[in-house]
Structure 1
Amino acid sequence: MGNRPMNIPMMLSMAAVLLLGITSRAKCEYRMLVVHSYHQGYDWVDHVNLGIKRALPDTGVNVKYLYMDTKHRTDENWKIQAGQKALAVSQAFKPDVIIASDDNAQAYFASQLSKKPESPPIVFCGVNGKLSDYGYPNDHVTGILERPHFTNTLRLAKSLSPNIQRVTILTDESLTSKQNLAYAKTLKMPVEIVRYVKAENLQQWLMHVQQANLDSDALMVLTYHTIKTTSLDQESMSPAQVMAATTKICRLPILGIYPFAVDDGAVMAISASPMEHGFMASHIALDLVRTGIKPSQIQINNAIEGMILFNLPAARKHHITIPPHLLKMAKGIINEPGQQAFKFKPRSN
């Protein structure tokens, strides 16, 4: 009787139970909380998420996403409430590791959490500001800095259109924009910067565009996602509406440092890669939970990749010819109005 073979259906049932247990453990091996400063549907956020997902196939990570939505709502009370909500979600979810993306997630969430002795490891990405503003570095934090490709974008624009010698740099009043401007002012630019200007509402923005028409050879736009119809409004305008109004009156080539600017009518940009930020942050986060090392033992680095993007209808409008070798190097090209220059598609796995 001891040598009698086990019933085959019983063996399969036991195997299924064992496999189910293994699979369940694999699926919930680690908990990761991803806190975004902005909203789902914002181009940068969506591509950071794609980078995260590409780094995590079959890794047994349970990922929870939280969006602070500080592009649509920019008032201080909202940002504070969004940060408090993120802290509450973190306390309830009990993640093994956190990815905090962009500056508002640091200012209103991660900087507070990382000061607590019980803080889980935190990996930041997409950060433009000074680390000291957030109390970084500290034992619980490491990450990836974002440094916009100002000089490379301007250098390329000048090579394509040598008459671009004087440039106005225009942006909104967001925290990211203020930090980008502060960084830009530290650089040795390949052209003369006529002025660095910020706008809160559409009237101010268009006034700066008109001024650039009078004394500049090109207009560089950074972010315009917190521009409001009037300064009394709480909700920001659609970014596409802001750029539609801009391209309607701007007589100059428009340059960008993000993919959405090219999508909305800028001639070109060399942009940081949100995919790179998400991918690198995920790999660091996995290393932390798998090895148990302190975040402070992993060096904080700058992201490296720069993506060349072109809008050919906008280039033709300003009689700018893009050579074939540059088109081959480009990560994204708009051939017709309404297309997107930069759109990753999720892989099947």
Structure 2
Amino acid sequence: MSLGLLTMFNASKPRIMVLQSMGSNAPWASEVDAGIRSELLRNRLPVSVEWHYMGDELQQESESVAVASARRAVARFDPDVLIAVDDEANAQIASGFTGLQRPRVVFVSIDEPPARYRYDGQLNVAGIAEILPLAAVREALPEAKDGNPRRISAVGMDSATGRAEMAQVRGGDWGPHRLVAAELVPNFEQLKNFVEARRTDTDILLVLSYAGLEMPTSNAAVTVDTGIAEWIEANAVPLPIGLHVAYVADGGGLGFAPSPRDFGERAMAMAIDWVDPSNGSVPPIMAVSEHFDVAIREGKLRARGVSMPSIYIETARLGGRYFP
């Protein structure tokens, strides 16, 4: 095939852009991408796919600079379908395309209701909302020796994702247990203050998203997300339970989280279906993902005297999320 014909062929392929809120090295983004690539391997429709990671620039630039760069990337690639991952990408970029002919939007892993981004009833929007596996957490709470309900607290980063996650936690059915404290924090120092204040009034500490949490420049001991999980495990009196996939990988002991690979596979399947000429232009049906992963670091649980039922351990093993 000549260079001219190859250029025409590539230009004629449907274009799909993946806009990640997090950085390219973030565990959540990496596993969403793994699901996307898995679906692309099964695909037989020629498509052109490009990625943009807002989090990469947020590590060195202001939020306004990162948002402006993302908008330029979308305008340059001019995708037929924009897959927007997590609340930040949807709040700051994708929601601005509602009601337009181009691009069509597939939202992924939003914790806010789709109506929050004016997605309801829009013919150019489809996607998958994220439901935190709070019922699974409630069912797995270790039995209290005294027979009393568990006292639960929750902490996360004050961001679009964190606010949406916390709204789900506050609105969750925790009976017979009770939520006694919940706070979103802007930096690591305030996270430490919250955790240390929960020494006597809390049995279970829910850890929401913290990727990108502001760290003190003078703290050489804790400089990355891994250090946050390790600090929580070393200093929290209540049992910490992570609600995102990175917590146990970062050094935590127990986690229940929505499945990022499932999000990636389903989002790309939706996008490919939408650009396939044989399927017409009807948008895919909006959906929610109730799949979740279990992650266990047994050494950390053993140190706290916590033993999980074998079904959870085997689930973590099968999902590649079991650590000794």
* Structure 2 equivalent of residue 346 of structure 1: none
Structure-2 change in CA distance of 1:27 and 1:317 (3 Å): farther
* Structure 2 equivalent of residue 49 of structure 1: 33
Q: Does the Cα contact within 8 Å between 2:24 and 2:56 map onto a contact in 1? A: no
Structure-2 change in CA distance of 1:136 and 1:70 (3 Å): farther
The amino acid across from 1:176 in the alignment is: T
Per the TM alignment, residue 196 of structure 1 is displaced from its structure 2 partner at its CA by 0.7
Query: Which shows bigger deviation, 192-201 or 263-272?
Result: 263-272
Structure-2 change in CA distance of 1:217 and 1:325 (3 Å): same
Structure-2 change in CA distance of 1:163 and 1:74 (3 Å): farther
* Structure 2 equivalent of residue 38 of structure 1: 22
1:119 pairs, out of 81, 102, 107, with: 102
Deviations 1:214-257 (A, max 9, x none): 21112111112232234999xx9511122222222222321111
- Structure 1: gaps of 5 or more residues: 1-16, 337-349
The amino acid across from 2:264 in the alignment is: G
Per the TM alignment, residue 114 of structure 1 is displaced from its structure 2 partner at its CA by 2.8
Q: Does the Cα contact within 8 Å between 1:34 and 1:66 map onto a contact in 2? A: yes
* Structure 2 equivalent of residue 340 of structure 1: none
Aligned length: 312
Measure, in 1, the Cα distance between the counterparts of 2:144 and 2:297.
13
* Structure 2 equivalent of residue 171 of structure 1: 156
* Structure 2 equivalent of residue 258 of structure 1: 244
Per the TM alignment, residue 292 of structure 1 is displaced from its structure 2 partner at its CA by 3.2
Measure, in 1, the Cα distance between the counterparts of 2:73 and 2:223.
29
Measure, in 2, the Cα distance between the counterparts of 1:23 and 1:280.
30
- 1:249 is aligned to 2:232: no
- 1:69 is aligned to 2:52: no
* Structure 2 equivalent of residue 335 of structure 1: 323
1:317 pairs, out of 287, 303, 307, with: 303
TM-score (norm 1): 0.80
Rg larger for: 1
* Structure 2 equivalent of residue 94 of structure 1: 78
Measure, in 2, the Cα distance between the counterparts of 1:231 and 1:163.
42
Q: Does the Cα contact within 8 Å between 2:114 and 2:129 map onto a contact in 1? A: no
Measure, in 1, the Cα distance between the counterparts of 2:33 and 2:104.
19
Measure, in 1, the Cα distance between the counterparts of 2:137 and 2:40.
32
1:59 pairs, out of 45, 48, 51, with: 45
1:293 pairs, out of 259, 277, 281, with: 281
* Structure 2 equivalent of residue 185 of structure 1: 170
Alpha-carbon RMSD across the aligned residues, in angstroms, is 3.0
- Structure 2: gaps of 5 or more residues: none
Per the TM alignment, residue 26 of structure 1 is displaced from its structure 2 partner at its CA by 8.2
Displacement over 6 Å in runs of 4+: 20-24, 160-164
Per the TM alignment, residue 23 of structure 1 is displaced from its structure 2 partner at its CA by 12
Q: Does the Cα contact within 8 Å between 1:35 and 1:99 map onto a contact in 2? A: yes
TM-score (norm 2): 0.86
Measure, in 1, the Cα distance between the counterparts of 2:186 and 2:56.
15
* Structure 2 equivalent of residue 220 of structure 1: 206
Query: Which shows bigger deviation, 182-191 or 101-110?
Result: 182-191
Q: Does the Cα contact within 8 Å between 1:104 and 1:175 map onto a contact in 2? A: yes
Measure, in 2, the Cα distance between the counterparts of 1:80 and 1:209.
31
Per the TM alignment, residue 59 of structure 1 is displaced from its structure 2 partner at its CA by 3.5
Structure-2 change in CA distance of 1:253 and 1:73 (3 Å): same
The amino acid across from 2:118 in the alignment is: G
The amino acid across from 1:323 in the alignment is: P
Q: Does the Cα contact within 8 Å between 2:157 and 2:184 map onto a contact in 1? A: yes
1:133 pairs, out of 91, 116, 119, with: 116
Q: Does the Cα contact within 8 Å between 2:101 and 2:124 map onto a contact in 1? A: no
Q: Does the Cα contact within 8 Å between 1:149 and 1:270 map onto a contact in 2? A: yes
